[in-house]
Chain A
Amino acid sequence: MPVKSLTRRSEISQKIVKVALAGCPNVGKTSLFNALTGTKQYVANWPGVTVEKKEGVFTYKGYTINLIDLPGTYSLGYSSIDEKIARDYLLKGDADLVIVVADSVNPEQSLYLLLEILEIEKKVILAMTAIDEAKKIGIKIDRYELQKHLGIPVVFTSSVTGEGLEELREKIVEYAQKNTILHRMILDYGEKVESEIKKVENFLRDKKLRINPRYFALKYLSGDPEFYSEGVKLGLPELSEEERIGYRLLIAKRKREYVENVVKEAFADAGSKSLSLSEAIDHVLTHKFLSFPLFFALMYLVFKFTFDIAQVFSDLLDLLFSQLGSAVVNTFGENAFTSLISDGIIGGVGSVLVFTPNIFAMFLALGFLEESGYLPRAAFVMDRIMEKFKLSGRAFMSLILGFGCNVPSIMATRAIDDPRERLVTILITPFISCSARLPVYLLILRIFFPESSAAMLFIIYSLSILITLLSSVVINWLFYRGRTSPLILELPRYRMPTLKNLYIYTWNRGKHFLKKAGTIIFVSAILIWVLSYFPAAGDIENSFSAMIGKSLEWIFKPFGYSWKIVTSLFYGAVAKEVVVSTMSMLYGFEEETFLGAKEALSAEMDPVSAIAFLIFVMAYIPCFATIATIYSETGSLKWTLFSIGYSLSIAYVLSLIVFYVGKLVVMLI
């Protein structure tokens, strides 16, 4: 028996196929990834760099297929981090084959990228996605023409109807078994370029490069920053800027011509109808006068959805946890153990979990904006305004994701070409009020501003955006005086997000929050309970937490905050939700839930100091996860420390201003 299982295992290990998924941004690459792998996805790091890498696994006919989602890129240049990751993996990675994803309705840029990838000489399969939409609007694609011209297997797929997925799986397994590339398609670049390529190839013959010499030659001639300098280092002649530009244009032109020819031969009625619909929508959404109001209306809808609709479920959860807490105490009596369970764990974790519906709703709304193709339009409309703040529309796209969570938002900055703009965007992201700060706002606002909490929330969010933008100006002024990177994006056609994709989008991000509640929040809840219960056996006034709070109380003297609030802020540096769970524990108000909290807190704060408190929470420090991400994405301790120091001082000064102005206003009325 053991022997048998051993052989079986080794057999399986031989049947692992590594497949890289490449494609332009917004062509439906993620949809195809989701359709192939379902929810079996996990996140790893790219070798060498601590940059997130998405992988998924599925099995087919005894094969385990490991699917790697490469970052979406328009071409295989070498300017943004996304491009570098994708290209390095295609050149040096261990993928057995590559699937290039192309949009069936609008395939030009995808085919251009495909021609670049083919030159690396990997096994490639072309997946023409959204074939159902192409059919619907009467586009006919001749698969055999495509295969003839490109020399690779072509599969028509639809992530919506599931068409072609089975065939794609079959092709992956079938092609992976073959030892050779089906057919080598070599683009002829004309006499001038070809003779130069020959020269470079001859020169490289004895250099034992791991990279295909023809690819090397093409990149060297067109002055690619990586290959040109490497070529010169190896002893190839230096080329003048004009020469490099000349070759680059000849090579690109030839590729474009080839793509044009392929599209002409293989496509009948290339998508005029769908594109005209997309253009009609664009006419409204990017309209001269309508686009701004529409943008703000959409944002308002996102917030309305997040707060109002999800609130019903939050209230239900709140009730559930408070019942649970008192049930524990009622059943087992009041002692240290039940205090840990009900005050510590149920109170601490529960007070955070209550906001799960709001957070999932926020991600659902953001997922809709991202999947539908609206985000690049918003970037386009807002670009000019962002430029005033030394940012670009591209930075805007990553910042807006920060309303969900700052961590993916900081990761999304990888698509920003200009390293300085990217750094500035990373440093200002923590001021975008993420969903983890919501619990604090909602708790405080419901106590002090029950009538106008929506309006107050709007003010806090506006302030958060303002600080974010002004910080960009400040950081630019302090350290750089550069220009923002150019905004060169292909606007994808609009797409109706499928339920499956929205579900995966929301779940993949929302589960982070649940995981956090089960790990960081859970552990910190126990820790905080221990610190608050001991050494005085439940006498909170003499606990360790009280000592911490009291020793820091002087900092918040101007605001008149008690040590309990100070302690909450101190613990909240781990994750903003912890502010709520700490308060819940210190005030012990989970027993009577909302009413108890109201009584306890309104004795210590007035509306003005409550607002100052919220402003402080909004800005004061990036949470641990964000700090770790800032560190891994910038690779710089200096900038990470800067981010912490900067946000702490901004938060303090700002809330102080709000506090005194507020007091003045109250006095005057």
Chain B
Amino acid sequence: MKLSRLVPGVPARIKRLEVSGELHEKLVGMGFVPGEEIEIVQVAPLGDPFVCKIGNRNITLRKREADLIEVEVVGGELPLILADDGTYEITKLNGGRRFLFRMKNLGIESGKKIQVSGRRYYIEGREIDLGYGEATKIWVRRVSDAGEESHPQK
């Protein structure tokens, strides 16, 4: 996954830099080294650039450069928005009362299973319509690969 896709508050690890030359040197000098843990902590008002945290340091970066950095989420849990195709268990819902109320109406609760397939979400075979913001507040843990459990075709 590209660093530019990562959402704030999710710890990830740098896998590799897909860049060469001067920019590579610059990034490496600032600590963008494969293996380092990285987290986005703040996004600028217009959505770009953002601040990411490596170790104890806060470093600014633009989306354009973040596109060149490949990362993977560490730990088992991640927001639904970052989930690749597969089946996941909902672990927590990070939001206010209204958000929780809407999620309950949609049938989204901790412990339930949710399937992801091509940016669409299914619970118990039902397709669920989720916004970007909502999908960042739902945290999940992968339970199995796509295809193991059946879900309706698009």
Contacts and interface: CB of A to CB of B under 8 A. Distances in A.
B62 A487 contact: yes
A164 interface: no
Contacts of A252: 28-29, 33
Contact of A241 (B20, B41, B49, B57): B20
B85 to A, nearest CB: 31
Interface string B29-49: 111011110000111111111
A332 B60 CA distance: 66
A184 B127 CA distance: 65
Given A286-B42, A380-B49, A486 B65 contact: yes
A86 B4 CA distance: 32
A108 B49 contact: no
Interface string A257-299: 0001000000000110001000100110011110110000000
A283 B44 contact: no
Given A279-B41, A381-B44, 19 more contacts: A75-B29, A77-B26, A108-B31, A223-B25, A282-B42, A282-B58, A286-B44, A289-B45, A291-B45, A380-B49, A385-B46, A417-B22, A417-B26, A486-B62, A488-B26, A488-B65, A490-B30, A490-B57, A491-B58
A108 B56 contact: yes
A286 B25 CA distance: 28
B44 A384 contact: yes
B86 to A, nearest CB: 31
A344 interface: no
Interface string A240-266: 010001001100110010001000000
Contact of B26 (A376, A486, A490): A486
A224 interface: yes
B2 interface: no
A109 interface: yes
A271 B53 CA distance: 14
B33 A225 contact: no
Contacts of B55: 108, 260
A393 B46 CA distance: 13
A456 interface: no
B25 A248 contact: yes
29 contacts: A77-B26, A79-B25, A79-B26, A108-B31, A108-B56, A109-B30, A109-B57, A248-B24, A249-B33, A252-B29, A256-B33, A270-B56, A275-B56, A279-B58, A282-B42, A282-B58, A286-B44, A286-B45, A288-B43, A291-B45, A292-B45, A376-B60, A383-B48, A385-B46, A417-B26, A486-B62, A488-B65, A490-B30, A491-B58
Interface in A355-400: 376, 379-381, 383-385, 393
A256 B36 contact: yes
Nearest to A109: B57
B61 A487 contact: yes
Interface string A407-428: 0000000000100000000000
A129 interface: no
A491 B54 CA distance: 12
Contacts of A256: 31, 33, 36
A112 B56 CA distance: 13
A224 B22 CA distance: 9
A287 B33 CA distance: 28
B52 to A, nearest CB: 10
Contact of B28 (A79, A249, A270): A249
B64 interface: yes
Nearest to B31: A256
B25 to A, nearest CB: 6
Contacts of B27: 488
A393 B49 contact: yes
A458 interface: no
Contacts of B41: 279
Number of chain A interface residues as a range: 35 or more
B26 A383 contact: no
Contacts of B56: 106, 108, 270-271, 275
A120 to B, nearest CB: 16
A241 B22 CA distance: 12
Contacts of A225: 22
B59 interface: yes
Given A270-B56, A286-B51, A488 B30 contact: yes
Nearest to A253: B33
Interface of A: 74-75, 77, 79, 106, 108-109, 112, 222-225, 241, 245, 248-249, 252-253, 256, 260, 270-271, 275, 279, 282-283, 286-289, 291-292, 376, 379-381, 383-385, 393, 417, 483, 486-491
Q: How big is chain B's contact interface, by range? A: 35 or more
A57 B41 CA distance: 42
A289 to B, nearest CB: 7
Nearest to A382: B44
A294 to B, nearest CB: 10
Nearest to B25: A77
Contact of A384 (B20, B30, B49): B49
B62 A383 contact: yes
Contacts of A79: 22, 25-26
Of residues B20, B23, B27, B62, which shows the largest number of chain A Cβ atoms within 10 Å of its Cβ? B62
Given A106-B57, A279-B41, A286-B42, A486 B25 contact: no
A109 B23 contact: no
Give the 8 A-B residue pairs with the shortest CB-CB distance, closest first.
A75-B29, A384-B46, A491-B58, A252-B28, A489-B60, A486-B65, A380-B60, A253-B33
Contacts of A487: 49, 60-62
A383 B48 CA distance: 8
Contacts of B24: 245, 248
A532 B27 CA distance: 60
Contacts of A222: 25
Contacts of B45: 286-289, 291-292, 381, 384
Nearest to B55: A108
Contact of B57 (A108, A245, A483): A108
A74 B44 contact: no
Interface in B58-76: 58-62, 64-65
Contacts of A385: 46
A577 to B, nearest CB: 38
Contacts of A270: 56
B51 A380 contact: yes
Nearest to A260: B55
Contacts of B60: 376, 379-380, 383, 393, 487-491
Contacts of A109: 30-31, 57
Contacts of A74: 29-30
Contacts of B34: 249, 253
B57 A224 contact: no
B20 to A, nearest CB: 5
Nearest to A75: B29
Nearest to B66: A486
Contact of B23 (A112, A279, A292, A486): A486
Contacts of A253: 33-35
Contacts of B62: 383, 486-487
Contacts of A241: 20
Nearest to A248: B28
- Chain A CB within 10 Å, residue with most, of B29, B43, B58, B61: B29
